[in-house]
Amino acid sequence: MLRRTSHDFRNALLSALDVLNQRRSVPSRQLGEPGPDAAELDALFAAAVRVPDHGKLVPFRLLTIRGEARARLGTALAGIHARNEPDAPPAALQKDRERYSFAPLIVAVIARLEADHPKVPEQEQLLSAGCVAYNLLLGAQALGYGAQWLTGWAAYDRDAAALLGLAPSERLVAFVHIGTSREPVPERNRPALAEIVGEWSA
């Protein structure tokens, strides 16, 4: 059995940090075919759900949206928008219809919240589901795909939640769009560490 040296560990650590340092969102309109195949998707999901989960509640579930279901979702959401806002501009409704038609795969990350849990605050459950969404971004990138975490009004609308089959105790955390980037995505400015890192002392 080969022993891992400190040099091996350092190289593995740097590789993991590279994934973080190279992470960037690819706009959903720039995502196209191909998306992950079945084996890649299983691997992606298995990795994505390895998140902090106080109490082992598994306060999340995933819903895939792909193929013709993407257009049906967009059409249904445009209908909800039009009912809720009769004066909505046609361009806004068209955006609703097209929103899910670019990336070959959209994963809806759903938080399953247990209110008034005796040990696990609702916020911790919600953040656990948020970690799943972020892991999907990292995992998709590690597999060579682009991804973007989006919400929009549909993530906060109860009619849209009912359309997606969410229970009253569930909340839509993210629509994670995954596919192949059609063009390079430029880096954007990041905050200077000196502006956001401090040290507490009594």
Give the tens place of pLDDT for each residue, 109-139: 999 999 999 999 999 999 999 999 999 999 9
Residue 133's contacts (CB-CB under 8 Å, 6 or more residues apart) are 109, 149, 173, 174, 176
The answer to pTM > 0.75 is: yes
E-strand spans in the chain? Answer: 31-32, 60-66, 105-112, 146-150, 170-181
Residue 2 has pLDDT above 70, yes or no: no
| Confidence band of 14 (pLDDT split at 50, 70, 90) | low
Report which secondary-structure segment, H or E, holds 131: helix 122-142
Integer Cα distance of 53 and 75 in angstroms: 35
Q: Report helix angle 69-84 to 90-98, nearest 10.
A: 150
Query: Percentage of residues in the chain with pLDDT exceeding 70?
Result: 93
Phi and psi of 87, rounded to 5°? -95, 15
Other CB atoms closer than 10 Å to residue 118's CB: what's the count?
A: 6
Express each pLDDT in 144-182 by its tens digit: 999 999 999 999 999 999 999 999 999 999 999 999 999
Give me the pLDDT at residue 1, please: 43
Looking at per-residue confidence, does 84 or 3 come out higher? 84
The CA distances from residue 97 to 80, 92, 100, 172, in Å, are 11, 9, 7, 19
What integer pLDDT is reported at residue 92 of this predicted model? 96
Percent of the chain surpassing pLDDT 90: 87
Q: Which domains does the chain have, with CATH numbers?
A: 26-182 (3.40.109.10)
